[in-house]
Amino acid sequence: MRLRGVLFDLDGVLVESRAVWFEVMRAIARKFGYPEISAEQMARAWGQGIAEDLRMFYPGLTVEELESEYNLMFPRYVQHVKVEPDGPAVLEELRAKGIRVAVVTNSPAKLARAMLDQARVDPDVLVSGSDVCEPKPAPDGILAALTLLQLTAAQAVFVGDTNFDREAARRARIGFAGYRIDGDMRIESLGEIARLVF
């Protein structure tokens, strides 16, 4: 069956904001008197959802409180988000060929939209961490995106860069294109997506 949709993870694929998130999360830890977050801790936590951030770094806060802090702090640093230069062109190429495009991210909706604006990327569908009950590695975001795109898992592929992405794809039973990591297929650049769908 010819693929009709490509679902992208956001951070680490279309944009790179690890350095920004590191500063945001450290600033929140300082604000509330939590222990300093190390680079090693941040690396282990990369890609997880807000509930896990709470468990690991901010016990005592609620999901709503932490999301509010992220929404407050992130805009102060968003200009430092690095944009994958091929992203806008690849999405336009997909659309020109009739391929629908979604972004599925664990980031809260407001921050995801800010990063997409920074990247000059406007997907057909955005499913953020605010839109689902369980973040990746749960399949909820991918399944929601497929529903909104009116596609089946067999008609699409998910592009991600973390173990959380790979596990979410496995659980959603969708093909996984690993962006610089192993998957059902592996790509080293976004430009390679064309060969997966055309």
pLDDT at residue 89 greater than cutoff 90: yes
DSSP string, the chain: ----EEEE-SBTTTEE-HHHHHHHHHHHHHHHTPPPPPHHHHHHHTT--HHHHHHHH-BTB-HHHHHHHHHHHGGGTGGGPEE-TTHHHHHHHHHHTT-EEEEE-SS-HHHHHHHHHHHT---SEEE-GGGSSS-TTSSHHHHHHHHHHT--GGGEEEEESSHHHHHHHHHHT-EEEEESS-SSEEESSGGGHHHHH-
- Residue 78 is predicted with a pLDDT of 86
Query: Domain limits of the chain?
Result: 5-16+82-197, 18-79
- Residue 113 is predicted with a pLDDT of 94
- Residue 47 is predicted with a pLDDT of 85
Question: In CATH, what class is 5-16+82-197?
Answer: alpha beta
pLDDT at residue 114 greater than cutoff 60: yes
Average pLDDT for 122-142: 96
Average pLDDT for 127-150: 96
Average pLDDT for 124-142: 96
Average pLDDT for 19-39: 96
Average pLDDT for 14-23: 93
Model confidence over 147-185: pLDDT tens digits?
A: 999 999 999 999 999 999 999 999 999 999 999 999 999
Percent of the chain with pLDDT over 90: 88
pLDDT at residue 120 greater than cutoff 80: yes
pLDDT at residue 35 greater than cutoff 80: yes
Q: Are 115 and 107 in contact (CB under 8 A)?
A: yes
- Higher per-residue pLDDT: 137 or 1: 137
pLDDT at residue 62 greater than cutoff 80: yes
Q: Give the predicted TM-score (pTM) of the model.
A: 0.88
Q: Which residues pair with 104 in a beta bridge?
A: 127
- Residue 1 is predicted with a pLDDT of 55
